[in-house]
């Protein structure tokens, strides 16, 4: 059972590192981070950012330590994308931003064993 707990902790820390890399990527391109790990009963938005043009980005981050089980973005199926859409609308309503322009993006982070990483952004997935 310890192995399961250790694996879960490793997955959590890998995911947290991926979200941090994604946030840094967004900051480097000039975005402002509006929210991290915004959670409601229906789920969680990993990152919410505002770009230089005033567009709000709802971002799902998928992180892997290898592509042995497929590319990270393959984990986002249509059901997951539609759940993110509902969460995006909930975030907008909660933050008084209904009617604002937004889009849903995904960021794939692959972290190598040496700590290096790659980032791939797919914009406007819906």
Domain ranges of the chain: 2-122
Give the Cα separation of 22 and 70 in Å (integer). Answer: 19
Q: Are 108 and 125 in contact (CB under 8 A)?
A: no
CATH topology of domain 2-122: Trna Endonuclease; Chain: A, domain 1 (3.40.1350)
**From the centroid of its chain, how far is CA 102?**
15
Residue 7 confidence (pLDDT): 52
Characterize 46-66 residue by residue with b for buried, 16 or more Cβ atoms within 10 angstroms of its Cβ, and e for exposed: bbbbbeeeeebbbbbbbbbbe
Rounded to an integer, the average pLDDT of 95-102 is 94
Rounded to an integer, the average pLDDT of 111-126 is 88
Per-chain mean pLDDT for the chain = 88
Residue 1 confidence (pLDDT): 44
pLDDT tens across 29-60, in order? Answer: 999 999 999 999 999 999 999 999 999 999 99
């Amino acid at each position: 059972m310890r192995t399961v707990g250790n694996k879960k902790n490793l997955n959590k820390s890998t995911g947290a590192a991926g979200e941090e890399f994604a946030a840094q990527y967004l900051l480097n391109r000039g975005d402002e981070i509006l929210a991290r790990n915004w959670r409601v009963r229906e789920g969680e938005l990993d990152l919410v950012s505002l770009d230089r043009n005033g567009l709000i980005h709802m971002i799902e981050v998928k992180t892997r330590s290898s592509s042995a089980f497929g590319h990270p973005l393959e984990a986002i199926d249509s059901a997951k994308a539609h759940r993110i859409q509902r969460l995006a609308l909930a975030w907008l309503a909660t933050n008084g931003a209904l009617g604002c322009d937004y889009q849903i993006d995904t960021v794939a982070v692959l972290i190598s064993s040496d700590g290096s990483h790659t980032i791939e952004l797919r914009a406007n997935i819906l």
